[in-house]
Structure 1
Amino acid sequence: MTEATVQAEVNEENKDSFKNLIAIKHYRLLIAGQFVSTLGDGVYALSLIWAMKLLSGSALFMSLVLTAEVIPTIIFGIFAGVLVDRGNQKRFMMMADIFRGLVVLAIVILFWLNMLLPWMLIAAAAVASSFDAFFSPAKSVAIRTIVPDHLMTRAQSLSSTIQTVVGLASPALAGVLLVFSVPTAFLFNAFSFFVSFFFILFIKEKSLVEKPSNKLNKKSFSHDLKTGLKTIITVPIIRGMIIYLILINFMLAPVAVIFPLFVDNASQLAMVEIAFFIGIFIGSITINLFSKFRKIVPMITGLCLMLGAFGILAFCDNFVEVLILIALAGIGSPLASIALQSLFLVKVPRELLGRSQSTMRVLLESSKPVSLLLTGTLLVHFSIHHLFLGIAIFGGAVVLLMILNPVIRKDNRLKVRKLVKGNSVSVMRTTKKGRRWHENPPSFLLSHLQFLSIPPHHLITLLRCFLQKAITNQRS
């Protein structure tokens, strides 16, 4: 092997490195903004639910304030993605930071004046979430624009690690701030939004401030909406997972309500959150061990760890044991989320990423309001331990269905063709090893659970030919 060949291999190995990723100036500014914003969000998440607990003491109201955060995402999510994709993502992020900071400041002022009521907190949560619906897709497009494809997984891993490290500090900080006063915690969050605004202000990437060449009208807006949904549907692995991801979101939504009710004071709540993020930190490091496996492996492993921990929590009362189990659930969280995020960012074209992510987010978040409201109702009749057990059982069934679905296991494409041999239809599976034809489509479909992976018109063709063949056999 020549020296030039060796050097070429070394350069290729170093190409995908954190050093090259950090060397991107605009990415550093974006990540710095994320660092500060995530620190404030960690404090805000605890402050919001804890403030509602102090104001109302009701699990139903706690569910309502979390529902108020989700509904704007569903209402504005798809429209935000279309607008973000049409250019000037930097402006969307800056405006979102400013207005979210002002909303949180309003909460602080109302609290100081002893005028804050539960409905006001719910309204403020809804308004802040409305601006967040624009920030999240704009940030994803910014990362996709600034970071090259070969560094995308590294970028996602670094983003998750930063969120984890900040998550280790923010719950402890939130506990201290909440012990001191609730307004202080909200004030810190408002400050973090303004700091994030200034970091984004200094990003000078031209493609993030470009304006669309064509004006937005009703026809183009409708076309962009359809394109976002069509993009998701045309990616087999994402299309096959949508139903399962919606069910998983439905299953995990109650956790945000259960944890604050599971503890007696702000200090215990901070300890629970710290334990969870310690687990996330370990999981973010551990995911590198799965680099040679299919992405479904860390996804399923992470979900099993989370569900197993929740199942055991149903029978656990010791607080130390609770912290250990919550840390175990935290380990599973990044294993599932990082693999999914990387998959989505790589599979979807950059110019369609904003609207596609918003569409995906709306589909996933659509189950949360029902889940959260149902949680508030169920907690009136059942204990928290029973709810943990229900989450584990329901989630286990969803994971089992995911494992049985070959499209998710192998990320293969299915093509259906009608052969010119009577009424017979063959299904062609494309694999890494080549092509393989399957006769007898009904048994193939039933044994491999392929219904979620075949386009509707192809499935109708299969069923029609199967019925025709069955009628012919019965007559003969």
Structure 2
Amino acid sequence: MTTAVPAPDNKKVFRHLYQLTAGKTISDIGNNFDMVALNMFVYLLTDSAVYMGLFMAVRLAGAFVAGFYAGILADRMNRKHLMILSDFGRSAALLAIVFTPADYQFYVLIPLTFIMGCLSTLFGVCLQSSIPAIVGKENIVKANAVLTAWGSVAMVIGLFGAGMLLGKVSYETVFLIDACTYVVSALNLLSIPLRTSEERTAAAKQENMSFFSEFKLIYVYLRTVPVLLSLMAIRLIDTFGSAAHNVGMPVFSAQLKPDQPSFYMGIIWGVWGIGNLVGSRIMAKKFTGNDTSVNERAFGIATFFMSLFFILLFFESPIYIILLFAALAGIADGVSAIVYATRLQQTPDEKRGRMFGVSSTLQTVGFAVGMVICSPLFEIFKPVAVVGILHGLPMIMALMFTLYYFGKWKPGRRAVKTENSHDVA
């Protein structure tokens, strides 16, 4: 059996977690800065929305390609070292853009953007699969809540801070700032004594296998735990809705206040971020995550309400009603993300990286397909109709999932707990 990493000193464990989160938050702000700045930089260089769309597709392609391989690497190598490599790699890519002569910048953007997409996925997969080893299985919900809360803060600061920053300094200066945030994160990781993998028996240590053998290994495992397949399928469809509300928010804000769309969009996202913080705080205080059946039930319910509140948000209501739904959507979104990560972290350590790798790949595919589907629809229909369609799908799936498994969770609670012990063994 795999021996769980002990957590003899919770204060020390969480001090390390908070230090890790601080560094990650700084790099997340930089990551959101460069998402905005690079998109605008491509548009400035080419004066073409088509090229900007191609650029975004390349970054998503990097995340897609890296997804499953990142999981394999996370299960075979030192996850902390991979996260440090990812941070330094992203910093180097941004510096390469800055120091490339202006006439050649466009030509280096595509490969470097692909690399950044790969490295961002590698970092995320390694971090998420490391949490049980870092804090102990009894603390993973609290750890996920901390990471989710500060991730939402970084998103709000990064997306809207980038807009203000670009109005005052050059693109190259923003890229240099972004590069520095990744270096800070890497140096922060170097300074923390983290153990990111659990002890394994010789039988659990896999020999190098081909890609298809690796894929078969995970496919066979997922078939033995079909509820994980259901969770991943819902998360995949949920990214359709994420694409819809991300693309639709600027359109909706322009309808609310044509002369100040960015102001309204900032308020809505800011309130969503506050809701996310509240949801994360509630989870950290009230939820243990020890029972897989509770995680699965909470995921279905939270995903249903998250989609519902996002749909209601896009109705043309008074601003205080819109902000109420934004806050509720943020709460449900935070809960959904935490219980989903917690359930995947209950898989065995030697397979956990692959689980997050597969999940990352599916979510990248879902978001890309959602972007392709919803972008032209906003030219034809009102935002509420488009968001209603793309968020309606995961809402229905989450409801069906909850109703289907509800009978299995309740009478089979003991059996589910047995499965849980098998998962984390």
Distance 1:167 1:362 in 2: 21
What is the match of residue 159 of structure 1?
A: 147
C-alpha deviations, 1:9-47, integer Å up to 9, x for none?
xxxxxx999x81554565454333222222222333443
C-alpha deviations, 1:428-447, integer Å up to 9, x for none?
x9723789xxxxxxxxxxxx
What is the match of residue 89 of structure 1?
A: 79
Write the mapping of 1:19-168 to structure 2, written as runs, cut at 5 A.
20=10, 22-23=12-13, 26-51=16-41, 63-109=53-99, 113=102, 117=106, 123-168=111-156
Distance 1:398 1:200 in 2: 39
Match of residue 283, structure 2, among 278, 287, 312: 287
Bigger relative contact order, structure 1 or 2, given CA contacts below 8 A and separation 6+? 2
The answer to whether the Cα contact below 8 Å between 2:7 and 2:13 also exists between their aligned partners in 1 is: no
Classify 1:194/1:332 alpha carbon distance in 2 versus 1 (closer, same or farther; 3 Å): same
The answer to whether the Cα contact below 8 Å between 1:90 and 1:209 also exists between their aligned partners in 2 is: no
Classify 1:62/1:397 alpha carbon distance in 2 versus 1 (closer, same or farther; 3 Å): farther
What is the match of residue 302 of structure 1?
A: 302
The answer to whether the Cα contact below 8 Å between 1:161 and 1:281 also exists between their aligned partners in 2 is: yes
Partner AA of 1:81 in structure 2: G
The answer to whether the Cα contact below 8 Å between 1:87 and 1:208 also exists between their aligned partners in 2 is: no
Classify 1:145/1:343 alpha carbon distance in 2 versus 1 (closer, same or farther; 3 Å): same
What is the match of residue 373 of structure 1?
A: 372
Shift of 1:229: 3.1
Shift of 1:278: 1.5
Classify 1:16/1:326 alpha carbon distance in 2 versus 1 (closer, same or farther; 3 Å): farther
Paired residue secondary structure (2:282)? helix
Classify 1:153/1:272 alpha carbon distance in 2 versus 1 (closer, same or farther; 3 Å): same
Partner AA of 2:413 in structure 1: K
Unpaired runs of 5+ residues, structure 2, are 1-5, 255-259, 417-425
Partner AA of 1:196 in structure 2: S
What is the match of residue 237 of structure 2?
A: 247
Shift of 1:260: 4.1
Shift of 1:196: 0.7
Partner AA of 1:79 in structure 2: Y
What is the match of residue 351 of structure 2?
A: 352
Distance 2:51 2:155 in 1: 26
Distance 2:65 2:379 in 1: 29
Paired residue secondary structure (1:315)? coil
Write the mapping of 1:215-230 to structure 2, written as runs, cut at 5 A.
217-219=208-210, 222-230=212-220
Q: Give the percent of matched residue pairs that are identical in Structure 1 and Structure 2.
A: 21
User: Does residue 165 of structure 2 align to residue 173 of structure 1?
Assistant: no
Distance 1:56 1:317 in 2: 38
**Structure number with bigger Rg:** 1
What is the match of residue 232 of structure 1?
A: 222
What is the match of residue 175 of structure 2?
A: 186
Classify 1:269/1:354 alpha carbon distance in 2 versus 1 (closer, same or farther; 3 Å): same
Partner AA of 2:133 in structure 1: T
C-alpha deviations, 1:44-103, integer Å up to 9, x for none?
344345555666787765554443332222222212211221122222112211111122
Classify 1:16/1:268 alpha carbon distance in 2 versus 1 (closer, same or farther; 3 Å): farther
Paired residue secondary structure (2:345)? helix
RMSD over aligned Cα, in angstroms? 3.9
The answer to whether the Cα contact below 8 Å between 1:172 and 1:274 also exists between their aligned partners in 2 is: no
Shift of 1:200: 1.5
**Larger displacement relative to structure 2 (25-34 or 154-163):** 25-34
The answer to whether the Cα contact below 8 Å between 2:198 and 2:349 also exists between their aligned partners in 1 is: no
**Larger displacement relative to structure 2 (227-236 or 56-65):** 56-65
Classify 1:253/1:38 alpha carbon distance in 2 versus 1 (closer, same or farther; 3 Å): same
Partner AA of 2:214 in structure 1: D
Partner AA of 2:115 in structure 1: V
The answer to whether the Cα contact below 8 Å between 2:128 and 2:341 also exists between their aligned partners in 1 is: no
Distance 1:338 1:320 in 2: 27
Shift of 1:321: 5.4
Classify 1:400/1:434 alpha carbon distance in 2 versus 1 (closer, same or farther; 3 Å): closer
The answer to whether the Cα contact below 8 Å between 1:88 and 1:209 also exists between their aligned partners in 2 is: no
Shift of 1:336: 0.8
Distance 1:81 1:30 in 2: 20
What is the match of residue 328 of structure 1?
A: 328
Classify 1:317/1:24 alpha carbon distance in 2 versus 1 (closer, same or farther; 3 Å): closer
Partner AA of 1:330 in structure 2: G
Classify 1:283/1:45 alpha carbon distance in 2 versus 1 (closer, same or farther; 3 Å): farther
What is the match of residue 461 of structure 1?
A: none
Classify 1:321/1:55 alpha carbon distance in 2 versus 1 (closer, same or farther; 3 Å): farther
Classify 1:272/1:68 alpha carbon distance in 2 versus 1 (closer, same or farther; 3 Å): farther
Classify 1:314/1:149 alpha carbon distance in 2 versus 1 (closer, same or farther; 3 Å): closer
C-alpha deviations, 1:205-231, integer Å up to 9, x for none?
467699x99896555x54433323333
TM-score by length of 1: 0.70
Distance 1:327 1:57 in 2: 37
Distance 2:46 2:266 in 1: 20
The answer to whether the Cα contact below 8 Å between 2:272 and 2:330 also exists between their aligned partners in 1 is: yes
Classify 1:389/1:161 alpha carbon distance in 2 versus 1 (closer, same or farther; 3 Å): closer
Match of residue 272, structure 2, among 264, 270, 276: 276
Distance 2:273 2:48 in 1: 26
The answer to whether the Cα contact below 8 Å between 1:82 and 1:355 also exists between their aligned partners in 2 is: yes
Partner AA of 1:135 in structure 2: F
C-alpha deviations, 1:252-271, integer Å up to 9, x for none?
22333333454566555544
**Larger displacement relative to structure 2 (101-110 or 195-204):** 101-110
Shift of 1:341: 0.8
TM-score by length of 2: 0.78
